[in-house]
């Protein structure tokens, strides 16, 4: 898909930032996907939706940048962070990466980039409805929606990839 120049201008300071570049090395939805590709795909989808809804340039940029930063936690969760081992039972689940990473991403993104309250809210709550915190602004609703669609597509590709050898073995049986 052709990437629009306006989209690139909106995000280039973030994607060229050395800390954001590190997300290329963090595996995300399967071995062929990393946080960088997932985040850029989510941002591009959010940008297209904002354009389709004919939102203002300011809103479009706000939504696109929030989408790009929604998983920018600043660590590889497979390395054991955040440390939820010290908790027990339901608290351990609540403090797991799945539930906590929106908050970590909002904090880390705010440290490296200038964010508005609306963007911070969108990043924090992008795991809604899994995390029972309702997005307060349109940024949040669009980021949440786009993340779900992009993540589902990536996970389906990952599953298809895993079953590929099985399908390859089955093919002669139907020949």
| Rounded Cα–Cα distance for residues 85 and 93 (Å) | 10
Distance of closest approach, residue 28 Cβ to Fe ion, in angstroms: 8
- Kindly tell me which of 71 and 139 has the beta carbon lying closer to Fe ion: 71
Q: What residues are paired with 30 via a beta bridge?
A: 28
Asked if 70 and 80 count as a contact pair (C-beta separation under 8 A), the reply is no
Judged by CB under 5 A, the stretch of 3-11, 69-77, 112-120, 161-169 that binds Fe ion is 69-77
C-alpha dihedral, 3 to 137 to 13 to 45, nearest 10°: -20
| Rounded Cα–Cα distance for residues 44 and 63 (Å) | 10
Judged by CB under 5 A, the stretch of 7-15, 49-57, 68-76, 117-125 that binds Fe ion is 68-76
- Kindly tell me which of 124 and 165 has the beta carbon lying closer to Fe ion: 124
For residue 71, state whether it binds Fe ion (rule: CB under 5 A): yes
For residue 100, state whether it binds Fe ion (rule: CB under 5 A): no
* Sites of contact with Fe ion (CB under 5 A): 71, 147
């Amino acid at each position: 898909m052709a990437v629009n120049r306006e989209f690139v201008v909106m995000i280039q300071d973030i994607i060229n930032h050395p800390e954001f570049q590190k997300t290329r090395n963090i595996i995300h939805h399967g071995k062929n996907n990393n946080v960088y590709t997932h985040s850029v795909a989510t941002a591009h989808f959010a940008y297209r939706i904002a354009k389709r809804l004919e939102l203002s340039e300011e809103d479009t940029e706000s939504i696109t940048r929030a989408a790009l930063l929604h998983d920018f936690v600043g660590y590889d969760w497979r390395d054991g962070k955040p440390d939820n081992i010290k908790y027990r039972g339901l608290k351990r689940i609540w403090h797991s990466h799945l539930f906590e990473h929106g908050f970590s991403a909002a904090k880390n993104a705010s440290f490296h980039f200038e964010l508005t309250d609306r963007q911070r809210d969108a990043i924090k709550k992008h795991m809604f409805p899994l995390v029972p915190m309702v997005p307060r602004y349109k940024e949040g609703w669009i980021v949440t929606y786009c993340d779900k669609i992009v993540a589902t597509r990536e996970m389906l590709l990952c599953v298809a990839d895993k079953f590929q050898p099985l399908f390859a073995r089955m093919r002669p049986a139907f020949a």
